[in-house]
Amino acid sequence: AIKLEYSRLVKLAQEDTPPETDYRLHHVIVYFIQNQAPKKIIEKTLLEQFADRNLSFDERCHNIMKVAQAKIEMIKPEEVNMEEYEEWHQDYRKFRETTMYLIIGLENFQRESYIDSLLFLICAYQNNKELLSKGPYRGHDEELISHYRRECLL
């Protein structure tokens, strides 16, 4: 089950999709794969999702959960740089936060509430710029955000 899920996520990460179906928003692993996170960070993150104790209530999932927990325990501390692991997860949180700012900014723009829109788009732009400084797929289309920021000022 774990290998099947990983294969499915790799396939999603390789698809060229329009912004409205951005698979990076669907799953952290897709974001990690597209941004070339270290294999061990991807592996640990995927295993943690299958090791979630909430899965223990379903008998079919219980065995998968136990296997995932055992595999996590087999990962040696020196194999995963925990500081780097946390940084990748923080970047993903920032990516989701940036998405939220962008969506709220665009919703306000559609309602012609340009001042409110601009505030959210500025936050989206600043977060996005920081993410894009680490790689081209870490954030959103910079030109799109800039376009709507300019439109708010007109």
Same domain, yes or no: 26 and 67? yes
What are the strands, taking DSSP E only, across 4-141?
none
Residue appearing with tokens 């740089």:
81
Q: Of 55, 80, 105, which marks where a domain is finished?
A: 80
The answer on pLDDT for 97 being more than 90 is yes
> Domain of 129: which CATH number?
1.20.58
Instruction: Give the dihedral sign, CA 128/131/134/136.
Output: negative
Residue 133: domain span:
81-153
The answer on pLDDT for 14 being more than 80 is yes
* Alpha-carbon distances, residue 107 vs 51, 143, 150 (angstroms): 37, 18, 16
For residue 84, what pLDDT is reported? Answer: 95
Same domain, yes or no: 54 and 109? no
Provide the token pair at 128: 């996005």
Closest by Cα among 108, 33, 101, 47 to 79: 47
Provide the whole-model pTM.
0.88
How many domains does the chain fold into?
2
For residue 124, what pLDDT is reported? Answer: 98
Same domain, yes or no: 138 and 86? yes
Closest by Cα among 80, 108, 95 to 25: 95
For residue 47, what pLDDT is reported? Answer: 92
Same domain, yes or no: 122 and 148? yes
Residues 6 or more apart from 149 whose CB is under 8 A from it? Answer: 118, 121, 122, 125
For residue 43, what pLDDT is reported? Answer: 93
The answer on pLDDT for 132 being more than 80 is yes
Per-residue pLDDT of 34-87, as tens digits, reads 999 999 999 999 999 888 877 777 777 778 888 888 888 888 888 888 999 999
* Alpha-carbon distances, residue 48 vs 82, 107, 109, 142 (angstroms): 14, 35, 39, 32
Same domain, yes or no: 113 and 149? yes
Same domain, yes or no: 69 and 126? no
Same domain, yes or no: 67 and 86? no
Same domain, yes or no: 76 and 89? no
Q: Of 59, 80, 101, which marks where a domain is finished?
A: 80
Q: Of 22, 56, 80, which marks where a domain is finished?
A: 80
Same domain, yes or no: 30 and 5? yes
For residue 46, what pLDDT is reported? Answer: 93
* Mean pLDDT (the chain, rounded): 92
